[in-house]
Structure 1
Amino acid sequence: MDLDLRKVRYFVAVAELLHFGRAAERLHIAQPVLSRQIRALEKDVGAELFVRDSHGVALTGAGRQLLEDGSALLASADAARRRVLRVARGTRRLLVGFRAGIVVAPALRAFSAAHPDVRGNARRVEWDDQERLILDGTVDIAYVRRPVREDGLELLPLCTEPRVAMLPEGHRLAGKPGITLADLDGETWLRYNDPGPDDLPIRTVEEKFEYVASGTAITMVPRSVAEQYSRPDISYVPVTDAAPDQVLLAWAAGRHSSLITAFAEIARTVAGQTAGES
């Protein structure tokens, strides 16, 4: 039996919240209706998806697998819906995502010259949404930086670049021509994936500026970020033994698009020319 996307969407809401009442509120449906839909889905797939007891709701092994596959399935369906709507409106468009510091304009200019009937635009993505925005169709293709969650993505390595320390003005190492990681021993580093209980995740380079300039902590950024973003209260210092930053192109695996293929080839050529000039 084919999976009913509506039931899968209901399931994902419960799986993420592990609470039928809150999931029903999120979905704007009655809780008994949601419970019936989940039981119907369990019948469809032939497996129990949740353990329900006096302690609450927990996913079974089958439920964990469906959450992983179902989230990707819903993202793919949403992406298809967006593409169909764009075609129905008569608009051929390629939306290219990019991380801070990465210059997209040369590749977009070359792409537009080769495809004058296609509107090419760019949208910045961040470390915590770069994969989601590709998989759900918000962007068609994106320049991303490692680390990358590779599930569901095709990846094309483009280039690497050195990383530099972002330090507050007046820091003991500010202004030096180069330092090593050992020189940074004992420093407090910004936390990204594991913020404190009262902290919000740090997402953007602008947020990094504020933390570093205030003396709260330091971090490292790709050299291209240092070249594009300058502030008098921030100092960038090359870290000679830091692992280089990796830039890749990413798009949804299994998506066959002549425009994506064309842009990827142009982007690779432009990256090669840029590397040859540097």
Structure 2
Amino acid sequence: MTGSEESPSFRLAYVPGVTPAKWARIWNERLPDIPLTLVQVPAGEAPDVLRAGEADAGLVRLPVDRTFFSAIPLYTETTVVVVPKDHLITAADEVTLADLEDEVLFHPLDDVFDWDSPPGEPAFERPATTPDAIELVAANVGLLIVPQSLARLYHRKDLTYRPVTDAPESSVALSWPEEATTDLVEDFIGIVRGRTVNSSRGRTRPDAQADDKRKQSGSRQKPTAAKSAQSSGARSGGAKPTSRAARGRSGTGGAKPAKRGKPRRRS
């Protein structure tokens, strides 16, 4: 937990292309008294930020060092190639790496893919960042393979993209130092996994526990409608239950009529 005990807070790092807005909104609804601070960091710097304690957890790209970090995979992205809008590749709905072997492909220094053998023709030099590589694609110097979220993040009107069916994929995970698994980290884990606030698998808030006790107490004290009506009738001297003889005269259920006694003699 970051901050003082009197004023706790939670810092969440996230890498470019990841959109934590939905989870941040749920956090603010469930824990309005604990501020959530979003810290955007370059993908390659996210592990160092978490190691240094500059964030409590992070939405990062896999892989991470599992000897130090815990990680919960969240989703895997489609890989795309970014091209100028008038490029021949745009005639296809999707492409393969073989379709790109004669193209100049940029591999920026912050490339999120760990290529064993980078595809395509190598560029004269490696751009420093993905945004720098996007600018070069717009200048018709070469193409760029990225996760789809980065293609959307750095979208330009003169560029488009197509899925690359056999390219490596990038997975996003929630990660944090394993030895720093705090209650607030557990709260955020529950949020990204879609747990309800009272889920038995998540950490229940004290106020939620109090609400549950009040609800359970109220349900035990509340009588059923039938018992309530019967009790009310007995107290108010209302209509008594129908006698056995009366039920017999009603003719329901095939009941035998009650025997009538002899009339009394008049004096």
- TM-score, L = length of structure 1: 0.59
- Aligned pairs, how many? 184
Deviations, residues 136-178 of structure 1 (Å, cap 9, x unaligned) = 1122111111343444211111111211111234322135311
Q: Equivalences for 1:177-188 in 2 at 5 Å? A: 177-188=93-104
Query: Equivalents in 2 of 1:174, 1:150: separation in Å?
Result: 40
Q: Equivalences for 1:7-156 in 2 at 5 Å? A: 83=2, 86-87=3-4, 90-156=6-72
Contact 2:104 2:143 in 1 (8 A): yes
Closer/same/farther in 2, CA of residues 121 and 240 from structure 1, 3 Å limit = same
Higher Cα Rg, which structure: 2
Which secondary structure state, in structure 2, belongs to the residue aligned with residue 139 of structure 1? coil
Matched, 1:210 2:135: yes
Query: Equivalents in 2 of 1:213, 1:260: separation in Å?
Result: 41
Deviations, residues 48-83 of structure 1 (Å, cap 9, x unaligned) = xxxxxxxxxxxxxxxxxxxxxxxxxxxxxxxx9xx4
Q: Percent identity?
A: 27
Contact 1:166 1:234 in 2 (8 A): yes
Which structure carries more helix by proportion?
1
Query: Equivalents in 2 of 1:201, 1:187: separation in Å?
Result: 16
Equivalent residue for 1:58? none
Amino acid in the other structure paired with 2:141: T
Amino acid in the other structure paired with 1:106: K
Which secondary structure state, in structure 2, belongs to the residue aligned with residue 208 of structure 1? helix
Mind listing any 5+ residue stretches in structure 1 that lack a counterpart?
1-79, 271-278
Q: Output the aligned Cα RMSD.
A: 2.8
Deviations, residues 210-268 of structure 1 (Å, cap 9, x unaligned) = 13222333222222233444212222111122233211111112113110111022112
Query: Quick one: which of 74, 86, 90 aligns to 1:174?
Result: 90
Matched, 1:236 2:166: no
Contact 1:181 1:241 in 2 (8 A): yes
Query: Equivalents in 2 of 1:258, 1:175: separation in Å?
Result: 52
Q: Equivalences for 1:219-258 in 2 at 5 Å? A: 219-258=144-183
Which secondary structure state, in structure 2, belongs to the residue aligned with residue 123 of structure 1? strand
Query: Equivalents in 2 of 1:138, 1:175: separation in Å?
Result: 46
Query: Equivalents in 1 of 2:19, 2:70: separation in Å?
Result: 21
Equivalent residue for 1:262? 187
Closer/same/farther in 2, CA of residues 194 and 120 from structure 1, 3 Å limit = closer
Query: Equivalents in 1 of 2:181, 2:14: separation in Å?
Result: 21
Contact 2:108 2:133 in 1 (8 A): no
Query: Equivalents in 2 of 1:217, 1:149: separation in Å?
Result: 33
